[in-house]
Amino acid sequence: MNENYNITLLNTESDKLPEHLRINVRSRIDHTLLDPDATSDQIINLCEEALEFGFASVCVAPCWIPLCRRKLFAGAPVRIATVIGFPHGNDSTDSKVFAARDAIMAGADEIDMVINIGWVRQRSSVLLENELRRMVSVCGRHVILKVIIECCLLSDEEKVYISKLCADAGVDYVKTSTGYSTGGAKLEDIRLIRDAVGERCSIKAAGGIRTLEDARAFAAAGCSRIGCSKSVAIAQKEIEEETRWQTEKDMAEFWDRTERITGYMEKHYERDRAVAQDVKHRREEYEKLIAARAAGKDVDEQELKSLLDFDIYQLKWDYDKSHGNPPDYTLLPYLKNVDKT
């Protein structure tokens, strides 16, 4: 039998992305700062954070649009949203239309307008339809219009009523809340709005969304946008979870690939069984340390790292050399450290 043989590189099938990571939350976030005492430095920081974490937009008061436009140059992936009739919604329709036109001229890409809640409660359909259609008209095809219906002040019937009017008028988004009233977004409201509008418009949840778990729940319920001021903490946790999953996935694939190769070696080549046993021992020790760390015990990270500090091909090459076996030159393409003497 020819002692030289080729160990085929084995690729494992990639694990499917875990369900909780299948929706990228941070790309749906409207990074929001609407505090009345916000400063230019805070707005600049807001824009920089949005670029860093890949948020959908920054949402700011109208006075800050020109500054955001300078920071978020044309072609930047982050859009500029602003608020109209905020937070009560009881400005006149003319003033809302004028303010929206002025904001668009200043560089706004998206308008979040608060509807007149009193008109909704008294079913003033003519007034509401006029306001919605005029706002849709001024926003045109290229500026997104989100209408805030302030769910916490409405009955379920009123939420359905105004949501349908928004969809009929051609609004892009129905938005749950300002975050400045008596309550914020609720999952039951998302389901109610979705049933009312179908696929005719999208939904934005806002108000009280402070954790990654909250944001994921609203995204899974069908919200294309999520408004929050805790965006950075949410994004950092999401990135941390993605990184941890990728590391765990890489480790699983590393051990699986290594184990399959060593299994082949152990089965077919008597002299390589010691190498295979060495690898199995490493994996057993590695899994013990990982289990201990998961249980909250202190683990020697250097010891953990040392168990991973090997390559199966290099291990076999070094083993053959140290035991006086003929070198297997088919391994050379896979080796980093080779003493051919």
- pLDDT of 131 above 60: yes
Which residues on neighbouring strands pair with residue 111, listed in sequence order? 82, 145
Q: How confident is the model at residue 114 (pLDDT cuts 50, 70, 90)?
A: very high
pLDDT top residue among 152 and 8: 152
Give domain status of residue 9, yes or no.
no
Beta-carbon contacts of residue 98 (< 8 Å; ≥ 6 apart): none
> What digits encode the pLDDT tens for the residues 26-67?
999 999 999 999 999 999 999 999 999 999 999 999 999 999
Beta strands in the chain (DSSP E): 29-33, 57-60, 79-84, 110-114, 144-148, 173-175, 202-206, 225-228
Give domain status of residue 14, yes or no.
no
Give domain status of residue 16, yes or no.
no
Give domain status of residue 50, yes or no.
yes
Give domain status of residue 114, yes or no.
yes
**Co-location of 250 and 286 in the same domain:** yes
**Co-location of 260 and 186 in the same domain:** no
In whole angstroms, what is the distance from residue 140 CA to residue 41 CA? 32
Cβ neighbours around 126 below 10 Å, total = 9
Give domain status of residue 6, yes or no.
no
Q: How confident is the model at residue 328 (pLDDT cuts 50, 70, 90)?
A: confident
- Listed range (11-25, 121-135, 174-188, 194-208) with the worst mean pLDDT: 11-25
Give domain status of residue 7, yes or no.
no
The CATH number assigned to the domain holding 88 equals 3.20.20.70
- 3-state secondary structure at position 83: strand
Cβ neighbours around 174 below 10 Å, total = 29
Give the domain extent around 175: 23-235
Domain stops at, among 203, 219, 235: 235
**Co-location of 81 and 203 in the same domain:** yes
Please give the share of the chain, as a percent, with pLDDT higher than 70.
87
Beta-carbon contacts of residue 11 (< 8 Å; ≥ 6 apart): 257
Q: How confident is the model at residue 183 (pLDDT cuts 50, 70, 90)?
A: very high
Q: How confident is the model at residue 13 (pLDDT cuts 50, 70, 90)?
A: very low
**Co-location of 182 and 213 in the same domain:** yes
**Co-location of 194 and 265 in the same domain:** no
* Confidence at residue 200, expressed as pLDDT on a 0 to 100 scale: 96
**Co-location of 222 and 282 in the same domain:** no
Please give the share of the chain, as a percent, with pLDDT higher than 90.
62
Tell me how long the chain is. Answer: 341
Q: What are φ and ψ of residue 87, in 5° steps?
A: -100, 0
Within its chain, how far is the Cα of 149 from the centroid?
26
Domain total in the chain: 2
- pLDDT of 74 above 90: no
* Confidence at residue 287, expressed as pLDDT on a 0 to 100 scale: 83
**Co-location of 285 and 323 in the same domain:** yes
* Confidence at residue 105, expressed as pLDDT on a 0 to 100 scale: 97
Nearest to 145 by CA among 131, 161, 124: 131
* Confidence at residue 1, expressed as pLDDT on a 0 to 100 scale: 32
Q: Is 5 exposed, middle or buried (0-12, 13-18, 19+ CB in 10 A)?
A: middle
> What digits encode the pLDDT tens for the residues 245-290?
777 677 767 777 777 766 766 665 666 677 777 778 888 888 888 8
Kindly report the average pLDDT of the chain as a whole number: 87
Q: Which residues are catalytic?
A: 112, 175, 204
Nearest to 10 by CA among 175, 179, 253: 253
- Listed range (82-91, 102-111, 142-151, 275-284) with the worst mean pLDDT: 275-284
Prediction pTM value? 0.71
- pLDDT of 11 above 60: no
Q: Using an 8 Å Cβ cutoff, are 193 and 167 in contact?
A: no
Q: Using an 8 Å Cβ cutoff, are 265 and 1 in contact?
A: no
* Confidence at residue 284, expressed as pLDDT on a 0 to 100 scale: 86
